[in-house]
Structure 1
Amino acid sequence: MGAGEGEGAGADESALVAEFVARYGLPGLVDVHTHFMPERVLRKVWAYFDAVGPLTGVEWPITYREEEDRRVARMREFGVLAFTSMLYPHKAGMAEWLNGWAADFARRTPGCLRTATFFPEPGAEAYVRRAVEDGARVFKAHVQVGAYDPADPLLDPVWGVLAEAGVPVVTHCGSGPAPGKHTGPGPMEAVLARHPRLRLVVAHMGMPEYTEFLDLAERYREVRLDTTMAFTDFSERQAPFPARELGRLVDLGDRILLGSDFPNIPYPYVHQLEAVERLGLGAEWIRAVCHGNGAKLFLPDL
């Protein structure tokens, strides 16, 4: 029994997730792409989706429109061992404030990997370095919403700090759901050419430029991709993953990470797991994607 796109988050969803976890003998899930952010910021994000924003152009009901405590409890109920508080600025002057909130959230929320962000602005290198030294485990960059060039000279030292520290950065750099001025593989390839050791995690599998971002992962050993919204019924209607590339998912199986976009998803959380499962790439691949790869990157002591 599954929980398809339109069924909502029913009372038995935790049981469905638990069945998935048990089916593959997982100790739990590692989800590298979940959103926890200041309430006033999150409410604005939800309002954008409610208004059928111009970047989406489609109905996007928020499945987990709940208070923060309840959303954290969902992570526990779903057996998520580690998750993130992906947050990002859309203008200069926001990043340090967001980083302060995220540091506090991680301190009071067991299981949350301390998350940080940045924007191309004077002082970015300094506050990114401080965040790394203070214990940030993962960064978020949103090229589309921020409308900036990731190869902006103001960011060059930022990428350098992250590459040197080995701290992953989950980056929305693909052109889905709508292209931006600096989205697509080209700008990120320019960054990687200068910082080949950067642990770049391409959000949403690089949707819709799946092939091109898989190419980048083949060329750069530290490039990874997360499954966020990819392969789901919702995304397959908009930007289907090309069947011809399934073999490359197997070849790069140690660098595909589970991501979900919780809570801002228009279907139940378990549907992301089902979407990964129905690719038919085997139990070992699923175990790596849903736990092993993320645990190796973020939980090396487990």
Structure 2
Amino acid sequence: MATTPEAVHAFRERLGLPGLVDVHTHFMPERVLRKVWDYFDAVGPLTGVPWPITYRHEEERRVALLREFGVRAFTAMLYPHKPEMAAWLNAWAAEFAARTPDCLHTATFFPEEDAPAYVLRAVEAGARVFKAHLQVGGYDPNHERLDAVWGLLAEAGIPTVIHCGSGPVPGKHTGPEPIARLLARHPRLPLVVAHMGMPEYADFLDLADRHAEVRLDTTMAFTDFSEQFRGFPSGELGRLADLGDRILLGTDFPNIPYPYEHQLEALERLGLGDDWLRAVCHDNGARLFGLSF
């Protein structure tokens, strides 16, 4: 059953939140999104667990739903799986952000010769967040063709939401080690580790402990769906609390196999308190992106 806006409103009202900041939502060209949905339709046999898309709607309805939920800022996480695709995606994302003012202008890249040039163009056009997907893209973040990209983003202070953990299935370049090497070269690089780095939760918390510009998003973490695989280690809850100013709400909307409100319920049942919830669901994202509402 899909979420009723009233359920999300009740959560926000109890915490006194003016809205939610969701740093991990997916909007992309329709034919690309359909292929993503095809992947999730097929991933069930791969993982042994069905992955139904709860919000399989047209773009206009998906945007309307986020607004009905009270999401005041969200992203268009999109990513290439091959060369000569990222610049085209960035052009689409710029147009989408222009007609969707509550979407943070999102861009992406791939390790290819012209990556520094089109990333610079995206930054100059107002991109506020980038997306990197090491599992789908199948590339090492330390590829020499990305060094100038990372340097540019570090200098500009623009965060990259990066899928670098090994869930739902490992990739050749997933896991904490490639990210540790990247941060050794670019220690000021603002990274948001998607999905809390699942299933290597503790390792990515270690990286956040060592690097002040590393954050983690909650996307699908702590939910019943994810906990059935390899759950978040209860012994790390203390560090999760201590890093409460660097944990950001992410949901993976619309590609989630449960209602939107379940992500919020999963965060609340961690028992880390209302101040922590307010920071994660609104304050941290608002501060990172300089939002005021």
Shorter-chain TM-score category?
Answer: over 0.9
2:178 is matched with: 187
Amino acid at match of 1:210: Y
1:246 is matched with: 237
2:285 is matched with: 294
Can you give the 5+ residue segments of structure 2 that lack an aligned partner in the other structure? none
2:188 pairs, out of 197, 219, 222, with 197
1:283 is matched with: 274
| Closer/same/farther in 2, CA of residues 207 and 15 from structure 1, 3 Å limit | same
2:95 is matched with: 104
Any residues of structure 2 matched to 1:7-156 within 5 Å, and which? 8-10=1-3, 13-52=4-43, 56-156=47-147
Q: 1:286 Cα deviation (Å)? A: 0.2
Give TM-score, length-normalised by structure 2. 0.98
Q: 1:48 Cα deviation (Å)? A: 1.3
Amino acid at match of 1:109: T
Give TM-score, length-normalised by structure 1. 0.95
Can you give the 5+ residue segments of structure 1 that lack an aligned partner in the other structure? 1-7
Distance 1:99 1:54 in 2: 32
Q: 1:56 Cα deviation (Å)? A: 4.1
1:4 is matched with: none
Amino acid at match of 1:292: D
Identical residues among aligned pairs (%): 75
SS at match of 1:51: helix
1:194-252 deviation line (CA, Å, top 9, x unaligned): 11111100000000000000000000000000000000000000120000000001110
1:140-162 deviation line (CA, Å, top 9, x unaligned): 00000000000111111111000
Q: Which has the larger displacement, 263-272 or 47-56?
A: 47-56
Any residues of structure 2 matched to 1:163-174 within 5 Å, and which? 163-174=154-165
Distance 2:130 2:46 in 1: 23
Q: 1:133 Cα deviation (Å)? A: 1.1
The answer on whether the counterparts of 1:229 and 1:261 sit within 8 Å (CA) in structure 2 is yes
Q: 1:91 Cα deviation (Å)? A: 0.3
Amino acid at match of 1:224: R
The answer on whether the counterparts of 1:55 and 1:177 sit within 8 Å (CA) in structure 2 is no
Amino acid at match of 2:49: V
Any residues of structure 2 matched to 1:199-238 within 5 Å, and which? 199-238=190-229
Distance 1:132 1:15 in 2: 37
1:81-122 deviation line (CA, Å, top 9, x unaligned): 100000000000000000000000000012000000000000
SS at match of 1:193: helix
SS at match of 1:224: strand
